[in-house]
Amino acid sequence: MSEQVLLAARGVRKSFGEVEVLKGIDLDVRQGQVVSLIGASGSGKTTFLRCVNLLEEHDHGDILLDGDPIGYRVEGGRRRRLSEAKVSAQRARIGMVFQSFNLFPHLTAEGNVMLGLTKVLGKGKAEAKDIAGQWLDRVGLGERRGYYPYQLSGGQQQRVAIARAVAMQPRLLLFDEVTSALDPELVSEVLGVMQKLAESGMTMLVVSHEMLFVRDVSHHVVFMDGGRVAQAGTPQEVFGNPESERLRGFLGRFHGLFGQAA
Amino acid sequence: MIQYYFDWGVIWRSWDKFAAALGLGLTLAVVSLAIGTVIGLAGAMARVYGSRWVAWPVWLYVEFIRNVPLLLLVFFIYFGLPEFGIYFLDKTQSFVLTLSLYAGAYMTEVFRGGLASVPRQYMEAAKAIGMRPWQRQRYVVLPVMFRITLPAVSNNLISLFKDTSLAAAIAIPELTFVARQINANTFRVMEAWLTASALYLVTCYVIAMLLRLVERRYASIR
C-alpha cells in the first residue's frame, strides 16, 4: 500500500478511573482504506473510536490526523490541551456515525444534514439544501427529506445519519457498531450504503460485528483484545490464519461463516 | 332557605369592564411568562453549567420564591421597594416585576429538569459534526429542551393567569378586582363572582386547548 497514512495511532492509552481500557494502541489508516476493528465487547474498540473523535480524551500516546496531533498541541516539549474551538474544528474533519443514530429529533432528515453545513462550514441555506438533497438521494432517502426522525425506521434513520456525516466531507469517517441497534432485516440497507461509500474511496474506520461485511469490504482488519491490538492484517490473514486462541475463540462465535472457525 | 333573586342586568351593563379586565389579566400573565422564561433560562444555565458561586445564589432565589406566598411577594415588592428608594414603578409594573420573578423561579426549575433530560447522544452528535459549545446549546440542546418542557410551560401560563387575580390586592383593575368592585357597588354578589369565575374557567380552558395544539405541532420527540 503506497497511499499516505491519514490517521496514525501511537501507543494510545486511556483509563476510566482505575481501569485501563486502552493499553497502547498502534494503528495506521491509509487514505482511501477501510479499516475494521473487531473484538469482544470491552476490548476497547469503541473507546478507541471515541478518542479519535475527541468524545473521550486519551491519556498517553498520539493520535495523528494528517500528521496533526488530535486534541493537543506541543509547546516547549509539553502537550497542552487545545481550546474547545480548535477541538471542534478537528472534529469537523472527522465524521462519526453512532450505534443509536443520534439524529436531532427536532429537525427533518434534510435539517439534520444541513445543520453542520450551515453552522459549521458556513454554507448558505440554498447550497446546504442542495448538498443535503444530493446525499439523501445517494442513501436512497431523497423522497423522505421532509420526514422527522420519529417518522423513519431505524435503518432509514441510520442512513440519514450517514448522509449527515458524509455531507461534511470529512477526511475520515468513523462507524461505531452502526448496525447493532437495528432489526436484522434493516441491517443490509445500511451495510449497502457503507459498501458504496467504501467503493467511492472514502477512508473509513469501522467497529462492527458484521463479520461478512468486515471480511468483504475491509482492506485491513484489527483484532483487539483487552485494550491491545492482538492481531492485524488483511482480512485473509486475520480470518484465514487466526494466530491466537482468543481470536479463534472470537471467530468461533460466528461459526458457519468461516471455514476455519469451528 | 335564603332567597336569592338573580339580576344579570348589572353584568351586561359592565361587560366592557369585564372584557378590559380579562385582557389586562392575560397581558399580565403573558408578559410575566415571557420575562420569566428569560430569567428561567439564565437561571437553569447557571445552575447546570455555572460554578458554585453562580449556582448557589440562583438556588437561594428559587427556594425563596417558591416557599413564600405570592401575595406576600406582591406586597413586599409593591410596598417594600419604595422604602429602598425605588419609586418609579407604578402598581402594574410592580406587579409584573413580582409575577416575572415568581415565574422565573418556577421556569428555572422547569428548564433545569429539561436540560438534564436532553439525552447525551444529541450533544455527542452535535460535537461529532464539529459544532462549537454555544452552537450545540443554541441549535441542539435548547430546541430539544423547549420541546420536552412545553407541557410544563403551558401549565405555568395557566397558573400565572389565575395568579393575576392577586393583583386585585393592589387595586389593579383585572378580573377579580372588577368583580369585587361591582359586588361592592351593586350588591349583586353571585352574578359578579359567577361571571368572573366563568371567565377564568373558559379562558384557562381555551388556553389549555390552544397550547395542546402547539404541543402536538412540536411533538417531534417522544
Interface ipTM: 0.90
DSSP letters spanning A142-173: GGGTT--GGGS-HHHHHHHHHHHHHHT--SEE
What is the pLDDT at residue A255? 63
Nearest Cα to Cα of residue B15 among B167, B172, B192: B192
What is the pLDDT at residue A258? 63
- What is the tens place of the pLDDT at every residue in A205-235? 999 999 999 999 999 999 999 999 999 999 9
What is the pLDDT at residue A261? 41
Q: How far apart are CA B107 and CA B36, in angstroms?
A: 7
Which helix (H) or strand (E) segment holds residue A38: the answer is: strand A34-38
Contact B129 A91 (CB under 8 A): yes
- What is the tens place of the pLDDT at every residue in A63-76? 999 999 998 888 88
What is the pLDDT at residue A262? 38
Chain B contacts of A123, Cβ < 8 Å? none
Low-confidence ranges of chain A (pLDDT < 50): 260-262
In the stretch 134-173 of chain B, residues with CB closer than 8 A to chain A read 135, 139-140, 143-144, 147
From the list B122, B128, B143, the residue facing A91 with the nearest CB is B128
Q: Residue A19 pairs with which residues in a beta bridge?
A: A16
What is the pLDDT at residue B87? 80
Q: How far is A241 from chain B (nearest CA, A)?
A: 36
- What is the tens place of the pLDDT at every residue in A41-53? 889 999 999 999 9
What is the pLDDT at residue A220? 95
Residue of A nearest to B143 (CA): A106
What is the pLDDT at residue B222? 52
Q: How far apart are CA A223 and CA A208, in angstroms?
A: 11
Q: How far is B105 from chain A (nearest CA, A)?
A: 27
From the list B121, B129, B147, the residue facing A164 with the nearest CB is B129
Per residue of chain B (222 residues), give pLDDT as tens: 677 888 888 888 888 999 999 999 999 999 999 999 999 999 999 999 999 999 999 999 999 999 999 999 999 999 988 888 888 789 999 999 999 999 999 999 999 999 999 999 999 999 999 999 999 999 999 999 999 999 999 999 999 999 999 999 998 999 999 999 988 988 888 888 999 999 999 999 999 999 999 888 887 665
Domains in chain B (CATH in brackets) are 19-219 (1.10.3720.10)
Distances (CA, A) of A35 to A69, A213, B4, B38: 20, 12, 88, 49
Residue of B123, B129, B141 to mutate, testing the A interface (most A Cβ within 10 Å of its Cβ)? B129
Contact B143 A106 (CB under 8 A): yes
Chain A contacts of B139, Cβ < 8 Å? 115, 119
Query: Who contacts A155 (Cβ-Cβ below 8 Å, separation ≥6)?
Result: A182, A183, A186, A187, A189, A190
Q: How many Cβ atoms are within 10 Å of A180's Cβ, its own excluded?
A: 14
Contact A53 B129 (CB under 8 A): no
What is the pLDDT at residue A78? 82
List, in sequence order, the alpha helices (H) in B50-141: 52-66, 70-80, 91-116, 120-128, 133-136
What is the pLDDT at residue B221? 63
